[in-house]
Amino acid sequence: MNYIWNRRGFLRGSALATAAACLTSDSSIAYAEPKSKASGPSPIRLGVASYSLRKFKPEQVIADLKQLRTPYLNVKDVHLPMGTLEEVKAAAARYRDAGITLTAAGTIYFTKDEDADMRPKFEYVKAAGIPIIVAGPTRETLARVEKFAKEYDVKIAIHNHGPEDKQFPSPLDSLKAVKNMDPRMGVCLDVGHAERAGANVVDAIAECGPRLFDLHMKDLSDLKVKESQVAVGEGKMPVGGIFEALIKLNYKGCVDLEYEIHEDDPMPGMLESFAYMRGVLVGMGYTVEG
């Protein structure tokens, strides 16, 4: 037997109730049934990469997260500017006062192998109380990034950016670079870019193991074409397999939706994506919030 998910109707009414009704045979997305049905609360934490909402101010980001019914935010500097440390602390506090948990910051780029360039970025993250930097280093700057990760006790999750990325196109490239480094050095696995770089995302999750600190979720109608991004569930990304691999790994990070299309009006696609992901988890036997 296969779980087969239909996305029609997910946006209206309760996503959970709809998910139970969405086991219909006309969907093109199918997942193998787990050997044993899960139960209890979902161990997957669904969040948002704030780049998805890059055209909007922090107040709107907070409102949109409430509409998506998630408190977890991987915040981009457009929504938490790198001002004075007092300004950063105050801006971070406004998110927390609204019930938002800042799970990661970035992508933050480290292209200069200089203390003077890196230290302010680590000071920024510490002032905001954020435990993970989703990072874009170069191979030349990586050792210095590690030095600061240890000094500030901040995790570094190298974000892969696909075939166009000459440094870390695949999460396996990131993993290879950090495998002998401090345990705070790890991977942010972007599933869309990973597939385009030739990685099998389910296998890559297992291979990254404890070095996997963050995961950016998106979907593609063609797993080799960057411009084919669609709402999660409309494409060919193995969402159920990704969740099962993360659960098997006992993954404690977030699955952050990074919805890069329709930048002027992203919420319809983001709502669809969250409803679909919650529906997949319900189909696996879990209860989900939201």
What's the alpha-carbon Rg for the chain, to the nearest Å?
Answer: 19
Mean pLDDT of 258-267: 97
pLDDT tens by residue, 88-121: 999 999 999 999 999 999 999 999 999 999 999 9
The backbone torsions φ and ψ at residue 191, rounded to the nearest 5 degrees and listed phi first, read -65, -35
Which pLDDT does position 15 carry in this prediction?
A: 40
- How far does the chain reach from its first CA to its final CA, in angstroms? 28
Which pLDDT does position 37 carry in this prediction?
A: 66
Q: Is residue 288 part of a domain?
A: no
CATH number reported for the structural domain that contains residue 167 in this entry: 3.20.20.150
Tokens of 152: 């500030």
Selected residue with higher pLDDT from 31 and 166 = 166
Quick one: CA torsion of 15, 69, 243, 286, rounded to 10 degrees? -60
Q: Is residue 70 part of a domain?
A: yes
The owner of tokens 């696609």 is 269
Q: Note the pTM of the prediction, 2 decimals.
A: 0.87
Mean pLDDT of 193-200: 95
Q: Is residue 202 part of a domain?
A: yes
Count how many domains the chain has.
1
Which pLDDT does position 4 carry in this prediction?
A: 31
Q: Is residue 107 part of a domain?
A: yes
Which pLDDT does position 290 carry in this prediction?
A: 64
Question: Residue type for 237, please?
Answer: M
pLDDT tens by residue, 15-24: 433 433 333 2
Q: Is residue 290 part of a domain?
A: no
Q: Is residue 206 part of a domain?
A: yes
Interatomic CA distance for residues 42 and 234, integer angstroms: 22
Are the CB atoms for 108 and 82 separated by under 8 Å?
Answer: no
pLDDT at 26 over 50: no
Interatomic CA distance for residues 190 and 164, integer angstroms: 14
β-pairing verdict for 29-32 and 45-49: unpaired
Q: Is residue 173 part of a domain?
A: yes
Tokens of 244: 């099962």
Q: Is residue 289 part of a domain?
A: no
If DSSP states are collapsed to H, E and C, what string results for the chain?
CEEEECCCCCCCCCHHHHHHHCCCCCCCEEEECCCCCCCCECCCEEEEEHHHHCCCCHHHHHHHHHHHCCCEEEECCCCCCCCCHHHHHHHHHHHHHCCCEEEEEEEEEECCCCHHHHHHHHHHHHHHCCCEEEEEECCCCHHHHHHHHHHHCCEEEEECCCCCCCCCCCHHHHHHHHCCCCCCEEEEEEHHHHHHCCCCHHHHHHHHHHHEEEEEECEECCCCCHHHEECCCCCCCCHHHHHHHHHHHCCCCEEEECCCCCCCCCHHHHHHHHHHHHHHHHHCCCECCC
Quote the mean pLDDT of the chain. 89
Which pLDDT does position 38 carry in this prediction?
A: 74
Omega within 30 of 0 (cis) for the link into 70: no
- Using CB atoms within 10 Å of the CB of residue 139, give its burial: 0 to 12 exposed, 13 to 18 middle, 19+ buried: exposed
Residues in the chain: 290
pLDDT tens by residue, 42-72: 999 999 999 999 999 999 999 999 999 999 9
The owner of tokens 């997910």 is 10
**What is the residue range of 120's domain?**
2-283
Half-sphere exposure of 199 (CA within 13 A, CB side): 28
Quickly state the pLDDT bin for 14 (edges 50, 70, 90): very low
Are the CB atoms for 2 and 31 separated by under 8 Å?
Answer: yes
